Amino acid sequence: MPKPKKPSSPSSSKADQAIASAKNTDSGPSEGPAPLELRDAAAKKMAETQAVVAAIPFNASKASEHGFDNGISPPAGQTAAPLSRMTTASTLSESYHAGKVGTVAPEGVNATIGTLDRVRVDSGGQTLTTNQGVAIADNQNSLKAGVRGPVLLEDFVLREKLTHFDHERIPERIVHARGSAAHGYFECYAPLTEQTKAAPFQEAGKVTPVFVRFSTVAGERGSKDTARDVRGFAVKFYTDEGNWDLVGNNMPVFFIQDAMKFPDLVHAVKPEPHHGMPQAASAHDTFWDFISLMPESTHMLMWVMSDRAIPRSYATMQGFGVHSYRFVNDAGESVFVKFHWEPKYGTHSLVWDEAVKISGADPDYHRRDLWERIESGVFPEWELGVQIFTEEQAEAFSFDILDATKLIPEELVPVQPVGRMVLNRNPDNFFAETEQVAFCTAHVVPGIDFSNDPLLAGRIHSYVDTQISRLGGPNFHELPINSPIAPVHNNQRDGMHRQAIPRGRVAYEPNSLGGGCPFQAGAAQGFVSVPARLEAKEAQGKVRAKPEKFADHYTQATLFLDSQTEVERAHIAAAFRFELSKVTVPAIRERMVASLLNVSEELVKTVAAGLGMAKLPAPLPKALETVETPEVTVSAALSLKARPGDGSIAGRKVALLVADGVDGDSLLKIHAALLAQDAVPRFVAPHIGRVATSDGTEIEADASLENEPGFLFDALVLPNGKAGVDALSKDGHTAEFIKDQYRHCKPILVLSGSQTLFAQAGGSDLTPSGGQDPGIFLGPFRSSTVQAFIKGIGRHRHPERETDPPRV
């Protein structure tokens, strides 16, 4: 078989460009790079992929598909040997190994042993077979009675192939259908043995494999990533005592207090049943009709109308367990616990205009970002924190800790860091792993237990029930992505898709034919539920009701709103304005505004003005007029700005606009400086391909103004070089590119030659109040200016520039 040519050595600038280009999955250079001798794995893979593809310039077997003689004696398929196994890998991150995810697929083997290696398939150098392992001589033609005759029923190869294809899809999740996932690990900081016997927290440095799935809630599997929505944040811990699923969201509270209302909530937010619109959006009548009649949802509405609902990336959003759980130690003593995931890279979000535009240009924006970060080695990382408190503390709070519409302010119970989670490996196959993974709140291990939260109780049932429906039967736990690393022994038998082949004749307990095995572990080793504490009133009748503290629907909504910065409060008001403007029934809009009056009159006045409401309605009656005085009225920790991250720009995408005639030397130096900080700089030109610079340096544009609009980037560099700037000014995409970067308050480096171009697009280095814009960097190329620009990217956004409506 032909073998690609050996690599040649690149220049340093070409190497940098190849490295940066390889960090992207949605656009590339016009010419495939030569197979460069690069240490960067992504660039090496890109070069080797180009080489192996080029080694098969056409289908050499095509001519042999015709005629009777060829039909009875088809030739072997055409192949080309890659330079390395990396070329044909699903993901560069396969080199990161863990106890569950395993290692790399054995070469040329369909392995079925041990960890996930047992189900990985590498077909390199292998012939096609049926699902029964029979070699397929011809995969191009169905079996016919003569060259022009009818297709024969006996063609089992055709029937197997079509039948499997017809059944490839499985039912999508009702909620959280749109998801992305990755493998990684959790590392414990210090033992928590005083509070819990849960396996991941038993010793410092203990590592537990994890699989994490992020998702939107309302949209279908094919919907957009950047919809205004809650985001799922589900973590499967493959502990050595079984699987623990911490199934949470990126917001610490929820819409409802009791699972009885969950179907109503979902039906209300889903597309309206008479016309199936809108998809992945809450801005419509049925959602706001339901919500305006459910004042318990008000606190959650503040979060969903805030920037939390449109995160910049999965790597820059928090995660929460939402409910109060219990930690249980070896002595059987328990405390309450709430779980928090804090992102290493800070909490950053999109602005609405940006999110809307991105959804059209790249509906896979968050999925792509997660994949590219891991492929590039910029691994997403979170710190796990816990709020631990006793039953006595819980009884004293002004709110009920069993109420999922309430949070515990960090001022009352500080968040204690207990470990970190790193995602360092992408899935090999989206369907087998991301799509088939089954998370259930019922999956806990010894040391973790439930509280009496009525919403949690419903989830414990519903998640298992849903997975049985989605995945075809009760054996979904045997799918490789769901199977634990702890041994499984029980008397459960049969059912659809059973894979285990139990030995022996016993399937019951107690038994003697099997020596009593498998036997129950007992309290010393097995899971034991925490006995419920007896109330002073020992006997209470069964009742459908909620505790009185559940009736305080507005105090924490006000707490959240009052804890936001001025910019964040403006975004919340704008979100309510947009969503409620989509409501077609004025009475629903008026009812929602009346409810918000119980949160903030200032907020309502701003929203009402934007809705053209000249007269405000009376506030909605409260379910509980007299509420307990809250312990905390402002909590800085509730603002996104409280978590700016470490200032790193790793993974941030920076556009460097280029065209024939730009000054190449300065741009290459900026490109190198950004790459050195693990950012992803991209040369963006009117079209992809080589750019003729004024100084003869080589620049290869791997993105175009058309295929990579400005709102997909985190920062912008405008070039020097009169001819290049003139060329950019004649392309209408350029002004749009600059306008979106400017409007979305992104940092912009404007080299001297582009100041007119910047101004023509509506840009200014002054803020609306007349001060200096801290996110605009004007002037000649200097190292100090570049470093200031890099520091500005670390802030992510410069809201001092923002106006409503936008000036540009």
Residue 532 φ/ψ, nearest 5 degrees = -65, 135
Strand runs (DSSP E) across 607-714, as ranges? 653-657, 680-685, 689-692, 698-701, 703-704
DSSP 433: I
- 24, 176, 299, 720: which is the annotated catalytic residue? 176
Question: Who's near 803: CB < 8 A, 6+ residues apart?
Answer: 768
**Whole-angstrom distance, CA of residue 674 vs CA of residue 537:** 66
The kind and range of the H/E element at 375 are helix 365-375
**249 in active site:** yes
**Whole-angstrom distance, CA of residue 132 vs CA of residue 150:** 26
Instruction: Please give the full DSSP string across 560-608, using - where no structure is assigned.
Output: HHHTS-HHHHHHHHHHHHHHHHT-S-HHHHHHHHHHHTTT-HHHHHHHH
Paired sense of beta strands 715-718 and 319-320, if any: unpaired
The kind and range of the H/E element at 741 are helix 732-743
Contact of 711 with 678, CB cutoff 8 Å: no
Question: Who's near 576: CB < 8 A, 6+ residues apart?
Answer: 305, 596, 603, 607
- 24, 243, 249, 475: which is the annotated catalytic residue? 249
Residue 158 φ/ψ, nearest 5 degrees = -65, -45
Tell me how far apart the terminal alpha carbons of the chain are, to the nearest angstrom: 58
The partner residues of 625 in beta bridges, in order of sequence, read none
162-170 long-range contacts, CB within 8 A, separation 24+ = 164/131, 170/435, 170/436, 170/470, 170/471, 170/472
**511 in active site:** no
Comparing CA positions, the residue from 129, 524, 101, 611 lying closest to residue 332 is 524
In SS3 terms, 42-65 reads as HHHHHHHHHHHHHCCCCCCCHHHH
**Whole-angstrom distance, CA of residue 457 vs CA of residue 259:** 7
Contact of 713 with 653, CB cutoff 8 Å: yes
Comparing CA positions, the residue from 78, 72, 79, 80 lying closest to residue 138 is 72
In SS3 terms, 705-729 reads as CCCCCHHHCCEEEECCCHHHHHHHH
Active site residues: 176, 249
